Amino acid sequence: MQLHYEIYNGFPPEPMLRAIIDLHQRVFSGQTADELLQEFEAVKNRNLLTILALDNQAVVGYKMGYQRKPGHFYSWLGCVSPDYRRQGIAGEFMNRQHDWCRSNGFHTVRTHTRNQWRDMLILNIRSGFDIIGTIASADSHTTIVLEKRL
């Protein structure tokens, strides 16, 4: 395994963007490729940051985020292929994202997760995020809102 990371301001090149969508659909259900691409397009002009984990040239994980408002960054979507979990990739994404945020004038990072994704919730709490609220949704899942000062 030859893991390396790439950071893009905006979208990565097209073949990698397609690989992100494919990976996302394997890990999460409920969205078509076109719906996901529309979501990506909706935030591309909001100082979008994309970080990729690659094994040779295969995308095995990604993390995206964007500017919520001046000084505030929203750590938005991401996942790691099940075959590559528990190898520190999500933590490396967080470190690289927060370093980029500090270098680009952000002082606060917010993210959302759910109790069903406990590994992500635990990583966020261990990394200094505070739970600042919850959002009840129509599908009976409660979203946990976390925030961290950089």
Give per-residue pLDDT as tens, 103-146. 999 999 999 999 888 999 999 999 999 999 999 987 778 999 99
**Does residue 31 form part of some domain?**
yes
pLDDT in tens, 6-46: 999 999 999 999 999 999 999 988 889 999 999 999 998 99
Q: For the CA atoms of the chain, what is the radius of gyration?
A: 15
**Does residue 63 form part of some domain?**
yes
**Does residue 146 form part of some domain?**
no
Q: Residue 22 is part of a domain; what is its CATH number? A: 3.40.630.30
Q: Distance between terminal CA atoms of the chain? A: 32
**Does residue 144 form part of some domain?**
no
What's the pLDDT band for 2 if we cut at 50, 70, 90? confident
Q: Quote the CA–CA distance of 80 and 96 in Å, as a whole number.
A: 15
Number of domains composing the chain: 1
Query: Looking at residue 67, what is its pLDDT?
Result: 97
**Does residue 17 form part of some domain?**
yes
**Does residue 54 form part of some domain?**
yes
Please state the pTM of the whole predicted model: 0.94
- Structural domain of residue 49, as residue ranges? 3-108
**Does residue 58 form part of some domain?**
yes
Query: In the numeric block, which tokens belong to residue 90?
Result: 């999500």
**Does residue 128 form part of some domain?**
no
Phi, psi torsion values for 26, nearest 5 degrees: -70, -35
